[in-house]
Amino acid sequence: MDSKRLLSGLILVAFLLGNAGISFAGDIKPNKKRGQVYFRMVCTVCHMQQAEKTIPPSSRTMKQWRAYFKADKHDVSGTTRSAVSYYMSRDYRVAIKDSNKAAKKFLKLSDEQINADVREFVIKGAKDSDTPASCN
Amino acid sequence: MKAEAVKADRQAGISRRGFLGLCAAMGTGAALQLRSFKAIGKNNDKPGSWSRGEVIPSTCNMCVNRCGIQCHVVNGVLEKIDGDYHNPKTLGGTCAKGQAGIMTLYDPDRIKYPLIRAGARGEGKWRRASWEEAYEYVADNLDKIMDKYGPEGLLWSSSTDLTEIFFLKLGVFLGTPNFARHATLCLASRNVGYFGTMGGVPDSDLANAKYIIMFGANRLESFELPYNRDLISGIENGAKLVVVDPRMTVTAAKGTWVPIKPRTDMALTLALMHVLIKEDLYDKDFVDKLTVGFDALKEHVAQYSPEWAEKETDIPARTIVEMAREMAVAAPAVVVFPGRRSSWYTNDTQFRRTLPMLMALLGAFDVRGGNFVNAGKVKLGEFDWEMAPFDVAPCVDGFDEGPFPLAAHDDGGYVMRRDAIIDETGKYPVRGWMIYKQNPLAAVVDGNRTLKMMEKMDFICSIDVQPSQTAWMADIILPETTYLERLDPIWTTGGKVKFISIRQPVVKPQGEARTILDIIKGIAAAMDKRRTFDPPMSKVFDFTMEDYVDKQLAPLPIDRKTLARQGIWMPGQQKWKLGAYRRGEKDFRTPSGKIEFVSERFRRNGYDPMPVYEPPAEEAGRQRLVTGRYAWFTHSANQNNRWLNAIHPENDIWINPDVAREKGIKDGGYVMVRSRVGKVKIKAYVTPRIRPDTVFICHGFGTNSAGQTTLYGKGGADQVLMESKADVITNNQALHETWVDITKV
């Protein structure tokens, strides 16, 4: 096996993967792992602090999550900003970048990209999915 | 060596003869006595049964069950280990292994310094190295492999324990996607079978059950104290224990042994369901409210009559009918024990699926004496890890991309991964292997194939307390402290009672052994000298175990020092509640929210949505090999423990007397056992406790490591004989798919 060629192929894949967010809206490829990191380090960290609980992907069904993201209302109690998309936006990432490693690392990615990533992770980890996910 | 060993015995303050006497009194021999088992608790009702010295509470690590222990330390020497009567699960009990922990600590064979290979691999020539040199050596090799193949050129193997997290994190931060963990060596198929049926694996209320059925599970010799206590109480309270197993284990000896023909367990469970439905003995209310797919099940099992099953299983049709009726009478106080162990056959996941199905027909869930869902655990504080790289390469074998959609992808599939590496059929070469707390040469089917994988490796590092078979083949061995010499992350557990417990150092480390966290820190710092990481590796691990534990304890009203004095901590609120599912307050983690006779997850992934039976292949004139353990051994971990080895110095192969007679084999004589992949010379134990078409070898013997001086040269290795087969849905290795020829030598 030609390991050099294989390696350069891999580097190319890694390159494409790393830059997926800078591509144009429309050909966004969701990255589940990035969604997981974002969900864990931005969403869950705040839920632990402000709501003293976690809201794992496995707490809802795929259908419920889809409806949740479509409605784009963040929480019924109304203690936080009203749209869940806000917490995935660049504005929010800029606001918390000094205290949040994930927000800082993903600062440049588009709102659509982070949205797609988080959604991918949450829906693939829903209660009725094949791989229900906790918050860790 | 002998003098050293005697010294170690003496240092430990107890003679081997004394220890054996103790074990016998505890009833850990093959003829485990109910009464003496109860006496364990009685003897330990009062503290100070070993009156001298300081008493330090901690958590055992001689197997995976984490019983509470009290360590009696006199002048810095551990003299005695008792059970901790404060521990609400183990209630002062400790088994032979638990007590022999002293000998794991003071074993003269222990690795006390870093050792770098000085001869050929496996030759046993080592030179002692300083820790500094050892870290540089490991980092040099990891760095070289990462240069040439990328971080994905590294394979990261470890088994589940409280400390595994630190080892895993090093792999994660270096950027390898290739882990090979415990799951597919053990319980992946059971997990997925239950997951596809009811969303998770339930617990068992053994103490209050009226009927307990176990398929192959050998609880009393796996020595899981909490379970054993409950099982014994259950039997004493009049429960009927039925053990379905081709071999009469100690557990089977305590109940009714149903000597099933191996690989036909699913025929029995399907036929039991057939009878329950046909005779209208199932729990209609439960089935209506909490399950889906009953009509399809009824139609499906109509073909599996007891008469049909008799031909498959060798269990008389009448017995099957009686079993079903007795279960129905005892229902809902029936435990269909999920088992915990390795998969046996290539159809294991589908077989496991039939267990919760049977349970559901009996309505034996969420009810006293039945199966139930763990009431939750004490929530610990979370450690704030640095952010790990996530844009890593895909796994070498594509395990996470399709072939096993329901498997736990991060754990890797051991058999598949090994094939991809040896045959170079993977996406790229893997050339470095880091191994912690795992002995793959013994643990994985077809040991010779694991040796082949080692040949592919430019570098192998083993982190272990003893020169295990795998460590013996490594390029460097890094000595870890035993559980008696270190602080571990806090353990939290649930079930009927929830509590946390501490594992803490009771004596100073032997030689220069270090904790895994210190070892990882050393490697991390050495890696930072060679490469740039963001964040730097040393920053990722810039904390102490005390920091880690303090973080865990932060949300709780107890601090580390107090916990160290108490050993355990329980929240005041301890109600074990049942009935939430029955009342509709909770639903199952399945697509339908109910127990699925027809599994939606299986259906949408292209598997049979209902378990379909296929008869096993037969090999005339040969025997099917099965494996298992005796009460004093854990996997391959403590056969070299001098005290435990004294109970059972050499393993043997169980052969039915009819077969022995036919082949001229005598009890105690030696035989040669041959399979398609290996051969082993081993002593014969001729016994009617096993079926004629089956032979049994206790796992963990036949070491290739001359460093294990007590064990070396004794007994035969089962895994050398086992063919490389795996469950088709999870890639969980299948341990009972090998046929062997036996000849007298």
> Residue ranges of the domains in chain B?
2-106, 115-186+388-499+506-560, 201-372, 623-744
Residue B387 sits at the chain A interface (C-beta within 8 Å): yes
How is residue B636 annotated by DSSP? T
Which residue in A17, A18, A101 is closest to B387 by CB distance? A101
Lowest-pLDDT range of B28-42, B59-73, B378-392, B562-576: B28-42
Q: Are B390 and A34 a contacting pair at CB < 8 A?
A: yes
Q: Is the pLDDT of residue B44 over 60?
A: no
Angstrom distance (rounded) from CA B596 to CA B300: 14
Q: Do A14 and B391 touch (CB under 8 A)?
A: yes
Residue B619 structure tokens = 């090999």
Angular region, B373: left φ>0, alpha ψ -120 to 50, beta rest:
beta
Neighbours of B698 (CB within 10 A): 22
- Average pLDDT of the residues of chain B: 91
Residue B530 token pair: 């060679």
pLDDT value, residue B390: 82
Instruction: List the 577-596 stretch of B: residues with Cβ below 8 A of A.
Output: 589-593
Tell me which residue in A6, A18, A128 faces B428 most closely, judged by beta carbons.
A6
Instruction: Give rounded-to-5 percent helix, strand, coil for chain A.
Output: 60, 0, 40
Q: How many angstroms separate the CA atoms of B691 and B736, rounded? A: 14
- Express each pLDDT in B122-131 by its tens digit: 999 999 999 9
Domain made up of B2-106: CATH architecture:
Single Sheet (2.20)
Of A96-105, B22-31, B422-431, B603-612, the least confident: B22-31
In a mutational test of the A interface, the residue from B146, B192, B390 whose CB has the highest number of chain A CBs within 10 Å is B390
d(CA B631, CA B111): 26
Q: Higher model confidence: residue B93 or residue B615?
A: B615
Instruction: Tell me the mean pLDDT per 10 residues along chain A, length 136.
Output: 39 38 61 92 91 90 95 83 91 95 94 96 94 71
Which residue in B has a C-alpha nearest to residue A10's C-alpha? Answer: B393
Distance between B325 CA and the closest CA of chain A, angstroms: 35
Report the residue of chain A nearest B407, measured CA to CA.
A131
Spatial CA neighbour of B95 closest among B465, B634, B636, B698: B634
Each residue's pLDDT tens digit, B279-322 = 999 999 999 999 999 999 999 999 999 999 999 999 999 999 99
- Least Cα distance to B174 among B139, B135, B224, B212 occurs for B139
pLDDT (mean) for B419-431: 96
Give the residue from chain A lying closest to B379, CA to CA. Answer: A53
* Residue B595 exposure: Cα atoms within 13 Å on the Cβ side: 29
- HSE at residue B226, side-chain half, CA atoms within 13 A, is 17
Is the pLDDT at B6 greater than 60? The verdict is no
Q: Going by CATH, does the domain composed of B623-744 fall within 2.60.120.10?
A: no
Condensed to tens digits (0 to 9), the pLDDT of residues B659-686 reads 999 999 999 999 999 999 999 999 999 9
* Alpha-carbon gap, residue B213 to B374, rounded angstroms: 20
- Residue type, position B184, single letter: T
Which H helix or E strand runs over A65? helix A62-71
Per the model's pLDDT, the better-predicted residue between B376 and B272 turns out to be B272
- The domain made up of B115-186+388-499+506-560 has a fold known as Rossmann fold (3.40.50)
Q: Which residues 2-31 of A have a C-beta within 8 angstroms of B?
A: 3, 6-7, 10, 13-14, 17-18, 31
- Name the CATH superfamily, with its identifier, for domain B201-372: Dimethylsulfoxide Reductase, domain 2 (3.40.228.10)
Which residues from A are below 8 Å from B148, CB to CB? 3
Mean pLDDT of B340-349: 87
* Token pair recorded at residue B566: 């108490």
Model confidence at B25: pLDDT above 80: no
Kindly list the distances between the CA atom of residue B202 and the CA atoms of A115, B96, B263, B495, B611, in Å, as whole numbers in the listed order. 36, 28, 24, 10, 20
In terms of CA atoms, which chain A residue is nearest residue B587? A127
Residues of A in contact with B150 (CB under 8 A): 7, 10
Q: Are B114 and B128 in contact (CB under 8 A)?
A: yes
pLDDT at B389 over 90: no
For B124-144, what is the HEC assignment? CCEEECCHHHHHHHHHHHHHH
CB contact under 8 A, B589 and A132: yes
Beta-bridge mates of residue B671: B682, B744
| pTM as predicted | 0.90
Q: What's the CA angle centered on B539, arms B537 and B543, to 5 degrees?
A: 120
Q: How far is CA B599 from CA B265, B400, B434, B442, B605, in A?
A: 20, 21, 38, 35, 10
Nearest-by-CA chain A residue for B383 = A136
Q: Residue B282 and residue B537: Cα distance in Å, rounded? A: 58
Paired with B690 in beta bridges are B247
Chain B hits for A6, Cβ within 8 Å: 427-428
Which DSSP string corresponds to B345-394? STTHHHHHHHHHHHHHHTT-BSSTTSEE-----PPPPPP-PPPPP--PPP
Q: What are phi and psi of B335, to 5 degrees?
A: -105, 120
DSSP class of residue A88 equals G
B200, B294, B189, B188: which is closest to B587 by C-alpha? Answer: B200
Give the Cα separation of B125 and B127 in Å (integer): 7
B430 or B28, higher pLDDT? B430
Is the confidence at residue B70, as pLDDT, over 90?
A: yes
pLDDT at residue B492 in the model: 96
The beta-strand segments (E) located in B579-711 are: 595-596, 623-628, 652-655, 670-674, 679-686, 694-698
pLDDT band at B10; cut points 50, 70, 90: very low
Check residue A22 and give its pLDDT: 42
pLDDT of residue B36: 29
- Residue in chain B closest to A125 (alpha carbons) equals B589
